[in-house]
Amino acid sequence: MFRLAFLFVVLGSGLFIGNQYAGQQGYVLISVANKTLEMSVTTLIILAILGVVILFGLEFVVRKAFYASSLTWNYFSVRKVRKARRHTNEGIIKLLEGDFKSAEKQVTRQANHHDMPLLCYLVASEAAHGLGDKVKRDQYLGLASQQDNSELAVALTRAKQQVAEKDYAAAFDTLSELKSNQPNNQVVLTLLKSIHTELKMWQPLLDSLPVLEKKKIISKEERILLNRQAQCGLLEQIAEQQGSDGVSTYWNNLPRKLKTDTHLVECFAKQLMARKSDANAFTVIKEHLKKYPSSSLYELLPDMNLADPHPIIAFLESILRKDDNNACAHSALARFHLRKGDWADAQSHLEKALSIRSSLADYACLADALEKQNMTVAAREVSKKALTLVQA
């Protein structure tokens, strides 16, 4: 537009000057080496204008030629990118369908022309992982890591593959390096939760629970379950390393709320019993059962190895005096009678317990008590009931 206006100005100026100096064309002599060129001023002006017009025309032609060439180049470049995207999209679908071989083939065909080759190599790595080809899987991850801004995506992909192979130690190393830069990444936190559980890294798991709940990675109910699992795991580890005294010290330092959790009380009691500290285990269970009845804790009582089981028997009898319909107490007391050979007393307590609720273990014990009293027919009937319970 500017050039066109310039031409009009030049032409207009020429016409104006031509009219003003008509008949007074002047004289121009151009001498170069041995050659001379003579012309009027008007002719020189006309030639100059024609030269400018020709130059503008040549510029226009050259620009159009370059523009056409650029369009052609861009067309083929965009066509390659579109083709690469189409192959990648098809490869992702194949990956989701489980056709790993086709997925790998599709995403690698045009990876060099894709506008995001990182995606192609990550999908190819997942496909190779699905095929069980670790060499190719790692090669694709290596290519992916060479792309810009690839650190997070590559590390997460590698960690997921390591978790899938149950190589939790390697996955932990991968994510530990990443967590320092991505402390709040939900995928990192989720993977670490699983890894901490599998590697029995209970204290790190406990430390991460508040963040996991805050980020809504786990619910409140899941946090309670994971907290129980981690605390039980810690009780076991401490008991193995420090014995009954060490685990008792740890237990005493726990918050009161945790010490009222029946599941944790059971874990603690089992660790004490495993280390020949049954008397202390009985004290813990007894105090807890006075406030929080639990069938799982009653079941531990007959397994305790005390020099004198009388305190346990007395405790169970006191429970039954307060509540004769406590099936768990009847069942536990029956086992002490079985141990002493008091078959009739054992039978009485087992029948009472079974009248309140069904239990395969109690049916088996009752059948044994009846057999010991030569009540064969009755023992068979009880065994049939037990078999019916199993089949149900």
Burial group, residue 326, by CB count within 10 angstroms (0-12, 13-18, 19+): buried
Q: Based on DSSP, count helices (H) and strands (E) in the chain, helices before strands.
A: 19, 2
**343-356 and 360-372 helices cross at what angle (nearest 10)?**
150
pLDDT higher at 336 or 79? 336
Instruction: Give the pLDDT score at 42.
Output: 65
308-392 CATH choice from 1.25.40.10, 1.10.1740.10, 3.30.530.20, 3.40.50.300 = 1.25.40.10
Instruction: Give the pLDDT score at 76.
Output: 42
Among the ranges given (81-85, 140-144, 242-246), the one the predictor scored with the smallest mean pLDDT? 81-85
* Domain spans of the chain, in order of start: 79-148, 200-306, 308-392
Q: Which whole number is the average pLDDT over 17-45? A: 63
Q: How many angstroms separate the CA atoms of 104 and 122, rounded?
A: 10
Q: How many angstroms separate the CA atoms of 80 and 97, rounded?
A: 26
Instruction: Give the pLDDT score at 20.
Output: 57
Instruction: Give the pLDDT score at 16.
Output: 59
Contact predicate 88/119, CB 8 Å: yes
For the domain spanning 79-148, the CATH number is 1.25.40
Q: Which residues contact 191 (CB under 8 A, 6 or more apart)?
A: 156, 159, 160, 163, 171, 175
Q: How many angstroms separate the CA atoms of 300 and 308, rounded?
A: 16
Task: Report the candidate in 322, 323, 326, 362 with the shortest Cα–Cα distance to residue 346.
Answer: 362
Q: How many angstroms separate the CA atoms of 129 and 131, rounded?
A: 5
Q: Is the pLDDT of residue 25 over 60?
A: no
* Cβ count near 273 (within 10 Å): 20
Contact predicate 209/226, CB 8 Å: yes
pLDDT higher at 178 or 158? 158
Instruction: Give the pLDDT score at 75.
Output: 46
The dihedral over CA atoms of 323, 324, 327, 329, expressed in degrees to the nearest 10, equals 70
Task: Report the candidate in 130, 172, 178, 134 with the shortest Cα–Cα distance to residue 153.
Answer: 178
pTM, two decimal places: 0.73
Question: Residues of the chain with pLDDT > 90: what percent?
Answer: 55
Q: Which whole number is the average pLDDT over 158-163? A: 94
Contact predicate 353/327, CB 8 Å: yes
Mean of all residue pLDDT scores within the chain: 85
Among the ranges given (75-89, 150-164, 176-190), the one the predictor scored with the smallest mean pLDDT? 75-89
Instruction: Give the pLDDT score at 346.
Output: 93
**Same CATH fold, 308-392 and 79-148?**
yes
- Largest Cα separation within the chain, whole Å, is 154
